[in-house]
Structure 1
């Protein structure tokens, strides 16, 4: 079967089921007695097994099958949920995620899961792996099938008529994916040469795949044992066949004792859901199609700007009315398309409970992770990039921030630390906060390290606020950890966090209080595709400055400009801020004489820092399409991209974060 056409559907649904398994295991750890949670995990594992077997991803199917067996034991009250069960479930989940991730990257989804499968088997059987293998060998050679009265009579009559009665044991290969199908094929192969009067497990259990790699049956036939064995061995994925004469001497009549099963077997999940299936009001759309639609609409935005410019130059009221209507409709379309690109940050947040649990266990700490605002939506392109920075910040809080239980107890705090991950909208931005109730940042230690690293001087440090000092920990190679661990302490991570967030047009601020904890706040734009900007003139050049960074615009008289350490500065509401000339920064040549009596200043802000950008004049507010500069113009200083204006000219988009000092 050609499975390539189904790979996208497989990946989408696998991701959903893996996330569901992750969430339910975390929930099960808190509520180990709730068997409904186990059923939910079983349902997802069962579906994943079926899909992966169909797609011929054998390692995934093998591992999920073993998970099913353990989960089935739990929901039938044959196995208790304990820490070992949770730990191995998470290990299995991590392997499944790796394999699905490999497939999404074009791989074959293969991974050596023999050790995990063995551990799951051990848990299922309640023995060591070696013991379980010995038990299987014993079963292979000494399977004792008991017949009821009717079956015993059939065997006796067959013997009188010259038929042979065989005890057949069939062992399937370890990597057999469709065991029920193979069992059916064995029965079909024997149908023409005899009659199966009993099987262990029962036919119903074989159909439901409620068995390991082996099953036995009693066969009445005229054929020789060699013929029987050859017929069965022709079935693919059969590893071993043992055919012996069945005497029945040690099989006493047992009226149904072997078949006395619990009738309350778990029903198939697809049948257990009651009620009619609600018609779906959503459809899956490949993200590439939405990106393509966005690219097309960006062209519409450019042409809209062109039409607006033409209508202003033309004295035609009908044209102006039509352009205004197009502008309104296209703005609604723009909002709709941007909404389609928005996805909840829950997609990123979902990975963190398990990560925090693992880190806390490694560090011997007790940590309660609280997630608030997971439904907050953010542009998909931002979502794809924000995961790694959040991982660094959370690991930092778990390792450096939250103290050990003993230390917390000595400080009068509860042994269990609290870590809060919060997301919310504010204007055209999304804020993500990572807050802990740990020991806080050691201000003096950070300052001392900053001076050692020549990030500041002892003299200048006296004027620094706490917030400014905390920003030093985001510097490259900065670490105050006394020991290097697998989790942190190498001086890498937080500078990468800062650079990544700034590349997304955001910024990060830090608050901390000694003994009470710390809070890292990330500010991100809602979207990266279409920006609201202020267009400004610098000689004959036009630049776009994102409105999200602008505080206000100012007309500054020439005699109001002051100097500090040979740097132009201005007094902005009682605060001295530096001035930067865009003409000097971008080396724009003089092409026209300007009135030097007044300077046009754009006040931009990054956290608590402000800078005045000196331009020649303001053009006005404009929504522009952000375009990349391409592979040959990467990391251009203070430029985040370009846009095409209504008159067809290219305008560079300024990155204010790079200019703020």
Structure 2
């Protein structure tokens, strides 16, 4: 079978399944008795194994098969979840991730997994469950399997039913129901037992035969094989409600699997299993699967980019049509252009949303990394993720992963203290690390906050003075946060020795450079003994933005609406002076004023003596600035075009756009003007 055409789909789905395994394993470590989590992990591993085998990637199929065996042992209560099991599965995930990325790079995805497979074999064969645990279902199965209950024999057809149920995460049990000695109507009681269980599963085989059980032709007990997604303790509880039932023994039915399982499955069989699985789901799950599965397709990102580029031309032409309709004054033309405007606005939102992905795609990689670092450093760290659903442009998502990794490693290594040090400082042993993401205007903010020791002002200040970044006199005038931001300077480090994990300050200039290259910024807030917050501000990188067009002399500029608080008209006597700068009183707050004509050195042919000054009040965080312009033109949706590599560093200009009359207007970056 030619598999090249399915490669992209295989890579995408493999990454999704590995991420699902990663997330569920982290949860399983906290809830080792949660068999539902084990079933979820098993399902992902099983699917990945089938896909890899079909595509011919034998090393991936072999490794996932061994993982599957260990997980099967856990969910059948033969093994229990230990730190060793979690560690080995994490190593297996890392191996699989490496192999998947190798395939994505055009290689064969081969990797020496012999040692890891051997470790999984040891776990599979050498670990037995300890039935002293607290999980009730675990106790039921473990205790009853130890009893001498004769195992019912199944024919080939019945075994196939059990195997298929197992692949759908539906368990098979052997139940033995004992009635009271004085029970007279044994057949009626047996019928009531089967009636109770009918809603929760299916009976595969009985002993004695069904006819004998219904006629009461058995001693005090009868047995049967039953497939159900219900936990064993629930089955016991349901049956014991039937009167004159003395005892119920539940044993998980395990199929002897001496024959090697086929690694490569035909497409027909895979489709048959998928159809069975969908039929077995509950109505709610089926509805949700139908909604998400049948109406979702994978689209190459380049196609969306091409669509967006074409649509940008439509926006420019729409602006041109609006100008023409105003000139002609034709009612029908005006109405048609207005309708076109509404439709294109909806199209714009739709196309841009197609490029947006939740930031959890980046955040999801961190819990496992933090777990490993905490163990390596003998620290206790609780990770909290807030706002993982926050959406960001795909191109930005692909670039911010490594900088965030560096900042997180920094916080864990040098921010959060050792448990004993924290106790001496009156803190809890467990350090708290928060990853937070949220939208604000046309930007996304990402914060890495720790409750560690904070950044030592004295050491950073001494180093900054030593490197000649500031003088001792200037340093005394700066706040702790301003001093802390020096660690973002090139080559700046206060570490006594270089750590293989990180060194606070080592490489942070690279993080800063990366953020600036993405059109973002990074800042630091710190409090000694309390912790630090590294805050990253990133643009959404939307190509079509809503702006306010303003006139400065003969030039037209566009200011993004997301940054604008208000527009005001000031008289001459309302423009004040403070510390040699022009300011205004904005509702009791002193706001600095910046003249765009002066900033951009806009030439003027004649002097104007206007009585009023038009001011656009813009905001960045908590800081406000008033931009002085000549006049307001009005709101307009414009296409943001890059100025190209030769003009990429123009101060306070983020791009340009073509207006409806063919004029080119520069788009202002208000953040650069707010200081």
Instruction: State TM-score, norm by structure 2.
Output: 0.69
Cα separation, partners in 2 of 1:576 and 1:58, compared to 1, 3 Å: same
8 Å contact kept, 1:43–1:269: no
Q: Indicate how the Cα distance of structure 1 residues 563 and 39 shifts in structure 2: closer, same or farther if over 3 A, else same.
A: closer
The answer to whether structure 1 residue 206 and structure 2 residue 220 are counterparts is no
Output one character per residue of 1:127-157: Cα deviation in whole Å (capped at 9) or x when no partner: 9xxxxxxxxxxxxxxxxxxxxxxxxxxxxxx
Counterpart contact for 2:414–2:504, Cα < 8 Å: no
Q: 1:99-110 maps to which residues of 2 (within 5 A)? A: 99-110=99-110
1:454, 1:649 → 2: CA distance?
47
Deviates more, 1:409-418 or 1:456-465: 456-465
Query: 269, 274, 297: which one pairs with 1:284?
Result: 297
User: Residue 583 of structure 1 contacts residue 615 of structure 1 at CA under 8 Å; is this kept in 2?
Assistant: yes
Distance in 2 between the 1:493 and 1:629 partners?
A: 30
Deviation track 1:67-99 (CA, whole Å, cap 9, x = no partner) reads 223323333444332222211211111121122
Q: Do residues 420 (structure 1) and 434 (structure 2) align?
A: yes
Distance 2:361 2:71 in 1: 26
Partner of 2:419: 405
Q: Determine if contact 1:441/1:513 at 8 Å carries over to the other structure.
A: yes
User: Separation in 1 of the partners of 2:106 and 2:559?
Assistant: 40
Across the two proteins, how many residue pairs are aligned to each other?
528
**2:184 aligned residue:** none
Q: CA RMSD in A?
A: 3.4
Provide the rounded CA distance (Å) in 1 between the counterparts of 2:598 and 2:109.
54
Moved more, 347-356 or 620-629: 620-629
1:436/1:620 CA distance change after superposition, 3 Å: same
Separation in structure 2 between the aligned mates of residue 598 and residue 112 of structure 1, nearest angstrom = 76
**Residue-by-residue CA offset, 1:327-374 (whole Å, 9 max, x unaligned):** 222222222333333322222211111111111112111001112232
Counterpart CA distance in 1 for 2:332 and 2:98 is 60
Q: 1:421 to 1:49 in 2, by over 3 A?
A: same
In structure 1, the partner of 2:168 is none
Are the aligned partners of 2:410 and 2:504 in contact in 1 as well (CA < 8 Å)?
no
Contact 1:507 1:607 in 2 (8 A): no
Aligned counterpart, 2:367: 353
The corresponding residue for 1:37 is: 37
Distance 2:449 2:555 in 1: 44
Query: Does residue 1:79 correspond to 2:79, yes or no?
Result: yes
Q: Do the aligned partners of 2:551 and 2:633 also contact (CA within 8 Å) in 1?
A: yes
- After the TM superposition, which residues 489-504 of structure 1 pair with which residues of structure 2 at under 5 Å, given as runs? 489=503, 491-504=505-518
Task: Between 54-63 and 605-614, report the one with greater CA deviation.
Answer: 605-614
1:612-623 matches, within 5 Å, as 613=627, 615-623=629-637
Contact residue 484 and residue 490 of structure 1 kept, 8 A? no
Distance 1:572 1:460 in 2: 29
Q: For structure 2, which runs of at least 5 residues remain unmatched after alignment?
A: 128-254, 264-272
Please state how far the C-alpha of 1:647 moved relative to its aligned partner: 1.9
Q: Does the C-alpha gap of structure 1 residues 638 and 40 become closer, same or farther in structure 2, counting only changes over 3 Å? A: same
**Equivalent in the alignment of 1:381:** 395
1:648 aligned partner: 662
1:294-317: per-residue Cα shift (whole Å, max 9, x none)?
222222222222222223333223
Distance in 2 (CA, whole Å) between partners of 1:492 and 1:321 is 60
Contact 1:558–1:596, Cα closer than 8 Å, also in 2: no
Change (3 A) 1:654 1:115: farther
Cα displacement string for residues 167-189 of structure 1 (whole angstroms, at most 9, x for unaligned residues)? xxxxxxxxxxxxxxxxxxxxxxx
CA distance in 2, matches of 1:55, 1:631: 42
Partner of 1:184 in structure 2? Answer: none
For residues 526-554 of structure 1, what are the alpha-carbon distances to aligned partners after superposition, in whole Å with 9 as ceiling and x for unaligned?
45222222333444443333333445556
Deviation at 1:270, TM superposition (A): 8.2
TM-aligned CA deviation for residue 100 of structure 1: 1.5
Would the alpha carbon gap of residues 575 and 321 (structure 1) be closer, same or farther in structure 2, given more than 3 Å must change?
A: same
Q: How far apart are the structure 2 equivalents of 1:269 and 1:553?
A: 59
What is the aligned partner in structure 2 of residue 26 from structure 1? Answer: 26
Contact 1:19 1:350 in 2 (8 A): yes
Give secondary structure in 1 for the equivalent of 2:259.
Answer: helix
Distance 2:84 2:504 in 1: 32
Matched, 1:275 2:275: no
Compared CA separation, residues 491 and 401, structure 1 to 2 (3 A):
closer
CA contact (8 A) 1:504 1:528 kept: no
Is the Cα contact below 8 Å between 1:443 and 1:470 reproduced in 2? yes
Could you list the runs of 5+ residues in structure 1 that have no partner in the other structure?
A: 128-201, 211-267
What is the TM-score when the length of structure 1 is the normalising length?
0.71
Q: Give the SS at the match of 2:369.
A: helix
More deviation, 49-58/645-654: 645-654
Answer yes or no: is the 8 Å Cα contact 2:325–2:337 preserved in 1.
yes
> 1:507·1:606 contact (CA, 8 Å) conserved in 2?
no
Distance 1:35 1:97 in 2: 25
Aligned-pair distance for 1:499? 4.0
Distance 2:387 2:421 in 1: 31
Residue by residue over 1:233-252, the C-alpha shift from the partner in whole angstroms, topping out at 9 and shown as x without a partner, is xxxxxxxxxxxxxxxxxxxx
SS for the counterpart of 1:469 is: helix
Q: CA deviation at 1:613?
A: 4.9
Secondary structure of the corresponding residue to residue 206 of structure 1: coil
Looking at structure 2, the residues matched to 36 and 345 of structure 1 have their Cα atoms a distance apart, in angstroms, of 27
Mapping of 1:95-174 within 5 angstroms? 95-126=95-126
3-state DSSP of counterpart to 2:112? coil
Aligned pairs (5 A) from 1:508-547: 508-547=522-561
Does structure 2 retain, via aligned residues, the 8 Å contact 1:403–1:439?
A: yes
For the pair 1:49 / 2:49, whether they are aligned, the reply is yes
How far did 1:54 drift?
Answer: 1.6
For 1:50 and 1:600, how far apart are their aligned partners in 2?
Answer: 67
How far does residue 66 in structure 1 lie from its aligned partner after superposition?
A: 2.5
Per-residue deviation, 1:612: 5.4
Partner of 1:258: none
Q: Deviations over 1:545-586 (max 9, x none)?
A: 33334455566677857696xx86545658877766655655
- Residue 60 (1) aligns with residue 60 (2): yes
Counterpart residue number, 1:449:
463
Q: Is the 8 A contact 2:441 2:563 kept in 1?
A: no
The equivalent residue for 1:299 is: 313
Residue 383 of structure 2 aligns to a residue whose secondary structure is strand
Query: Do 2:45 and 2:64's aligned partners in 1 also have CA atoms closer than 8 Å?
Result: yes
Is this contact kept in 2: 1:569–1:576, CA < 8 A? Answer: no
How many angstroms apart in 2 are the aligned matches of 1:490 and 1:420? 18
Could you list the per-position Cα deviations for residues 477-515 of structure 1 after superposition, in whole angstroms to 9, with x for gaps in the alignment?
333333211222273443344444445454444333332
State whether structure 2 residue 317 is matched by structure 1 residue 311.
Answer: no
| DSSP-derived class of the 1:389 partner | helix
